Structure formats: C-alpha cells, structure tokens
Amino acid sequence: MSLEFDYIIVGAGTAGCILAARLSEDPSVEVLLVEAGGTDRLPIVSMPGALPFVYQNRHIQWGYRSGPEPELHGKVIDEKAGKILGGSSSINAMIFNRGNPMDYDGWAADGLTDWGFAQCLPYFRKMETFEDGADPWRGGAGPLRISRAAGEHKLYEAFLHAGVEAGQEVTSDHNGYRQEGMHIAQSFIADGVRWSSSKAYLRPAMKRPNLHVRTRLTVSRVLVENSRAVGIEAMTWSGAERVRAQREVIVSAGAINSPRLLMLSGIGDPDELAPHGIPVVAEVRDVGKNLQNHPGVDIQFATDHEHSLTSQIGPVGRAKLAADWLARRRGLGTTNFFEAGAFLRVGDDVDFPNLQYEFLPLTRQLRGNKLVPVPGFQFWIDLSRPESRGCVRLRSADPTAAPIIVFATYTNRADLDDMVRAVQQARDLASQPSLGRYVRVELNPGPDVRSDAEIAAWIRTATGTSYHPAGTCRMGVDDASVVDGEARVRAVPGLRVVDASIMPKVITGNLNAPVMMMAEKIADMIKSVRPLPESDAGYYRQLAAEPVEREAGSPD
C-alpha cells in the first residue's frame, strides 16, 4: 500500500468514519483511515439488547479507568471507550439526543460564531433519516436512521405521568422545538439493529478505491516537520511505520486519546511533556485540560416481580431475546431498554435543563461480587452542565501506556449541591401516584438517607459517569484554545482535531449525535465548500428570570 495520502484520519470512531466518508466523496483525493481496533461486524454490537455484554467486552474497548477522584474518596471508575470500527458509536447505549439549542448558541456567544444553533441545525438534519419524517427541525434523507422507542411497558407510561403530576411537561420531540420535559426516547436503532457511524457512513464508502482503511494499527505520534504536520508514525509487528499526508492529518481519537496523541507528539504544555523526556514541537498549554463529563447516580426502587421488566430477562428470557432477534429482528433484542427519559432543571437559577434522566423499568444490585437482577425500576440522573474540570495527562512516553484521567468531579461545590437536589427531585417523581403505587421500597440511596448531608455523603460513594468525556482540545477564539473554529490546531498547520475533545463546553445530552454533526460540519470546512444555509427554526427557552420563546419557526 502507498505510504502517502492526501488526508490521514486517526481513529475510525464516531467522527472519523464520517470524515472518511465525506472526504473520499472527491475521487481525486486519497484518504487513509487508521483504527487501533478491529471489525464491528459482531452480533453483540449489532443487537441493541446485547448492550450489557458489549459493555463487559474488554476486547473492543480501550480499558481506561479514571481516578483516583479526589472528591469521591479516591474512587476509580471504568471508562467505556470503543476500540473498534465505529468507536464508541459501536459500543454506546444508542441514545439519540442532540443537546439543547442553547448549548450551541452559548458557543457562539463565546466567539465561535459559526457554531450557533442556526448554523448547526442544518447539519443535524443532513445526517439523519428520522422515523417520523422531515420538518424544520428533523431530517428525512440522511445516512443515519433514527427511531422512536416503543415505550410499551407500563412503567414507561407511569414515569411520564409521574412527571406531569410533579408539574413537568411532556415534549413531543426533545430533539425538535422543545428539549425540556419528559419524553419517549429516540435511538440509533432501525430495523432492529444498531446504526453506528461505521454502519451508516463507513461501510458504504469503503467501496471507493480512494478510501483506504487499516485496522489494528496503533498510531504512536503525529509527524511534524518545520512546524507542520506531515504524517503519522504507527507501531507494527515489524517496527515503526511512517505514512505521510500531503494535505492534512486529522486526529479523531476521542476526548481521551486525542490529547494523549498530541502530547506524545510533542504538542502540549511543556511542563507536562518535560517529565517524560518528550521534546516540545509546539507549545499548546491547554492540551489535556478542560476535561468535562456528565457525572451521575442511579436512584433505584423495588417493585413487585410482575411489574418490572426484570421478570422477562432471566436466563430463559435472555435465550428467547437472542432467538427472536437472530430469527426475525424482533422482541427485546431490538431495544436498548432506555425508552423514556427527561431533561429537567433543578433550581430557579438556570436557563437550561441541568439534569438528564434515563429511566429503566428494571434494576440490578451488587450482591457480594455479583450483579443480581432485582424487580424494580431506576433513574440514572446526570448533571448536564457541570462546572468541575479535570484533565488528561501522560503516564509515560510509552504510546501503549494508558493515560492518567481525572475528572475532578464535584471539585466545584455547586455540582454536588445540584446533585443533592437531583436526588430529592427523583424521589419526588417516584412518590407521585402514577409511579408511587408500584414502589415497595427505595433501594438506593435508601430510606435512611434523608438529610442533605447524608445524601451528599451517599453521592460521593455512588457517583459514576455517563461516559461522555469532552473538552480536552478545546475549540475557541482565544489564544489559549487548542483549536480554532475550524478545528485547526494552533501553531501546527496541517493538523486538525475532530471529536468531542474540541467541545468548549459539554452539551446537554449524550455526545454521539453532536459529534456526528460536528464531523459533518467540519468536513465541509475541510473541503472548502459553502456551509449549509442557516436555519430560522426557533426553539423553546424559559429563562431563569422570565419565560421567553423565539417565535420564528415555532410550531402552531
């Protein structure tokens, strides 16, 4: 194979697959896509209902752990990140959430004027085929197929009704005009199978002779000559291999591995590189900093056996689930089980929903060393816009060594206060008549955890993450930002970063859909084509001080 290409893309994940597909649409350019993992053509990846087994499969993940976390008693947390074609879009929970329009308008207000909601919405529409068809907010002809969950189990309905009883609204499309409120979920699932960036974008594009995909190849550094990125160096069985890029190197390795690769290449904070003996190629001090995530907790309640979906997923139920899916693509194998959720606010001092709920009509608890199904239901609640910031640092100059990842969760006390209020809000939801009639007992935190101090202490032991790392190669207009508004690394021409690491602030929701949008949008920037026309579709806003709605494009 040639050792020279026009574009080299490092990472065949959520963004990398899209970039490879879009850039290779031009038959005059040669594109190389490099992935450290292997194929995604595995039944457990394609079957939505096999999600728990995907999460447990270490052969298709990087196996990273964050911590010790200083505010969580030194807790260490497994971080799920895909090492496979499709990256994390091949192992995630398939939940389709775009984020709140105010997220993107907030980026624009900070100077990234091409990244407001009006500029981003056309790319969200471009990438999807929504089950309900196109409208001013939704797309109807894109590569990704997005469906609504069936939400047929009685506890999903009870969850929505409990929200209304607690004074919340139900939104008809949380990825449309109004995000805030209770909702039936949407997912990257169609025809009973997962729709990853690999399935939607890469597989069709791989038929092109100008797109080259190499798997199980780990990139050890970006090659920089005369301050310009000119290629990559990768590790092979026979030693180091160098491949050159005539136009650009694009790093799409994710919010953990992208800053790690830049630092291994000598691009970063000199004070971080010096202890590892890495020569400084470009001083970009914010590489690896500004790390954000969505910290969260599970609130669990026990029910009678017949009311919970747990009764259908015992050993016999799992066998039937697999058989139905393999034979007919039907049954529980076609769901990720996250079929209802909500974006709610806690406190009167925020302009956006600062909590995300994912509702499950089943629950499991750790009994001894074994995770045991328990009849019940649970809320996963995370903070959608935490203020705490962590970092990614090198452990050594060895490119095979895992990095040091510390989210510094709750180092900003306001985040812990919000989570305490979130637990109280969740309890209020569960006490409403529609859900309360099913509750036998609260399992987590438990009825003995009542005061704010007791809840806060429990939160410090129970907190996990939603596996949404972002921000470590921050996009911005200031000199301290790692990349500019077109994802170009400052001080290193010929190098871009395109993945969740460039988010200046993490968005309100799951990251898969926003990263796909960003990849679509930046692909146009790389190709120097005119951006899609801005949208005039409005969106729902209720500011902390007073209710405000944008009228343009709002529904009747």
Q: Which residues are catalytic?
A: 468
User: Which residues make beta-bridge pairs with 228?
Assistant: 225
In whole angstroms, what is the distance from residue 276 CA to residue 284 CA? 17
| DSSP secondary structure, 392-426, as one string | EE-S-S-TTSPPEEE--TTSSHHHHHHHHHHHHHH
- What angle do helix axes 117-127 and 512-526 make, rounded to 10 degrees? 100
Cα–Cα distances in Å, from 416 out to 60, 64, 124, 509?
A: 33, 25, 33, 19
Cα–Cα distances in Å, from 423 out to 95, 413, 453?
A: 22, 16, 12
In whole angstroms, what is the distance from residue 385 CA to residue 70 CA? 20
In whole angstroms, what is the distance from residue 252 CA to residue 148 CA? 29
| DSSP secondary structure, 57-73, as one string | -GGGB--EEEEEETTTT
Residue among 43, 21, 39 nearest 144 (CA) = 21
In whole angstroms, what is the distance from residue 15 CA to residue 58 CA? 22
In whole angstroms, what is the distance from residue 474 CA to residue 287 CA? 8
